[in-house]
Amino acid sequence: MDWYPGPDENLLIRTPAKFSTGMAPAVAGYRWFRDAERKDIQGELAQWPSGPSFALRPTGDRAARRTGRAFLIGIPLIVNIIAGVGGALGSPFGDVPLRGNPEERENEVGDFPVMWAAPGTLARTVPWQLDPSRRPRGYRTDAVLTDRRFLILGTQQGSLSKADELWEVPREVTAEARQMKFSEICGDIRITFMDGSWIRLFTGSPDSSGRLAQLINGSVHGLTEADLTEGQRYRVRDFKGEIPKNAEAPTFTLLKSGIVQVECRVPAKAGQGLFETHSILMSTSGDAVKPQPGDL
């Protein structure tokens, strides 16, 4: 790995993260940085390099984009594989949707802020490398949540060097998180800080955005491999042997019912920054089980 948590610090989740991109025709492909009065603030952000300026698309362009996107519906960009549940591959929870319906029209249809930050608020301090329009080609940013911190890491594609720690805050300043369904493959998450400012990120996976939101909100709890029972550790060993060799290190989550979910991400062939998620659900003994109401 190119990054490790500190001593006595437990990694809960690491996921690709970058500023999201608008989906509605008027804002498709665009993003804005706003203060609490909806003014553009990208020129006020300290040490940020210059980036593109966007304007709402004209009506004719909106119609063309709406028509073009219709041909893409039904083409999955990500495969969500739940291994070992019921003895078959494939998600028992239904197909992964490409996008949901707008939940906040003012922030998803008529505008698309990915930063909402009054002067002096925490969201203004996040690193500019989160912006795909500003960062170098081949540079990737990841969001990391541990039991102590929320961090943004940066890595250059193909590099074996240690990841850059671009930004970090104590975990307790992340007040809440929400998976935003109106996004590519439901992969967006909005993270709100204690001062009321927020950022909207794309994680590349609905599983990652959903799990990160659950962990920040405290509805599920992260575990380490040392927390597992002997039977669960044996099952995890077998699970690692069943998945592709380029899978990332597994993460462990204690669900509401007491079931443990193990997840490993594998880079997807569908596109850079997208992932397949392989996961299993285990009882205390390590046997395969089905999720209970409220678990997922």
pLDDT value for 204: 87
Tens of pLDDT along 50-63?
999 999 988 656 55
Instruction: Give the C-alpha separation, 39 to 41, whole Å.
Output: 6
Please classify residue 167 by burial: count the beta carbons closer than 10 Å to its beta carbon, then call 0-12 exposed, 13-18 middle and 19+ buried: middle
pLDDT for 294 beyond 90:
no
pLDDT value for 273: 59
pLDDT for 87 beyond 90:
no
pLDDT value for 264: 87
Tens of pLDDT along 240-272?
999 998 888 888 999 989 999 998 888 777 766
Q: Which residue has the higher pLDDT, 273 or 1?
A: 1
What average pLDDT is seen over the chain? 85
Instruction: Give the C-alpha separation, 213 to 111, whole Å.
Output: 23
How many residues appear in the chain?
296
Q: How confident is the model over 270-281, as a mean pLDDT?
A: 78
CB 187 within 8 A of CB 268: no
Closest among 161, 154, 100 to 131, alpha carbons compared: 154
pLDDT for 160 beyond 90:
no
236: left (phi over 0), alpha (psi -120 to 50) or beta: alpha
- Say what the alpha-carbon torsion angle 269, 273, 276, 280 is, to the nearest 10 degrees: 150
| pTM for this model (two decimals) | 0.79
With bands split at pLDDT 50, 70 and 90, how would you rate the model's confidence at 200?
A: very high
pLDDT value for 272: 64
Query: Which DSSP helix (H) or strand (E) runs through 59?
Result: helix 59-70
CB 224 within 8 A of CB 232: no
With bands split at pLDDT 50, 70 and 90, how would you rate the model's confidence at 173?
A: very high
Segments making up each domain of the chain, as ranges: 11-282
Tens of pLDDT along 88-101?
233 333 334 456 78
CA distances from residue 197 to 116, 219, 296 in whole angstroms, order as listed? 5, 22, 28
